[in-house]
Amino acid sequence: MDSPPAIRDGVPDDLEVLVDTLSDSFRDDPVFNWVIPQVALYPYFFRLLVRDLYLPRGMVHVDTQGRAAALWLPPEERYELPPRLSLIDFGFRIARQAGLAGLRRLRGQGALYARHMPREPHYYLQFLGCRHDCQGRGIGTALLREGLRVCDARDMPAYLESSNRRNLPLYQRHGFVVKDTAKVSKTGPTIWFMWREPPQ
């Protein structure tokens, strides 16, 4: 029998566990697959994001058994990656494997998300993922509750983009409501933009 999920803050030594867990979690995600169809690039992407943004400036939660992870950005931080060579190299890797169409998809998805990003201060949950063979065990719920506990302690709202319809009930059970929907392209998958006010 599985032990109950135990969640802790992520630390730099967790980098490879976080990369591996999130890469596995999103390998079948509709939007992720549309933007970056090359699953082999997922670890490279998550390593950039976790190492250069979330571990130094974000809020990282991980299941103590490495089965799931969540990446939050606090309201005082901006979603910006430092202009390092590794970021440029990631762009080249996408161009090499998916051509200019791949770069256009990445840019288009980023522009769509930027248009919907709320202006008022909030916690931003960019990624919450559980390894495929560990889903349905309450680990994602435990991760979400830990993040929302921090939001509520600061009386702050929370925001996320859900890239998969089947995740909507989880977020709705925890107070998120769908504010808008949009497709990443005319024939691409749908995004649900969700907002949660702090409890009164």
State the Cα–Cα distance between residues 170 and 194, nearest whole angstrom. Answer: 12
Q: What is the pLDDT of residues 142-161, one digit of tens each?
A: 999 999 999 999 999 999 99
Region 63-92: mean pLDDT is 78
State the Cα–Cα distance between residues 63 and 68, nearest whole angstrom. Answer: 5
Domain boundaries, the chain: 7-196
State the Cα–Cα distance between residues 150 and 67, nearest whole angstrom. Answer: 21
Q: N- to C-terminal Cα distance for the chain?
A: 37
Asked if 95 and 107 touch (Cβ cutoff 8 Å), the reply is no
Q: How many CB atoms lie within 10 A of CB 115?
A: 10
- Give the CATH superfamily of 7-196: Gcn5-related N-acetyltransferase (GNAT) (3.40.630.30)
Is this model's pTM higher than 0.85 or not?
Answer: yes
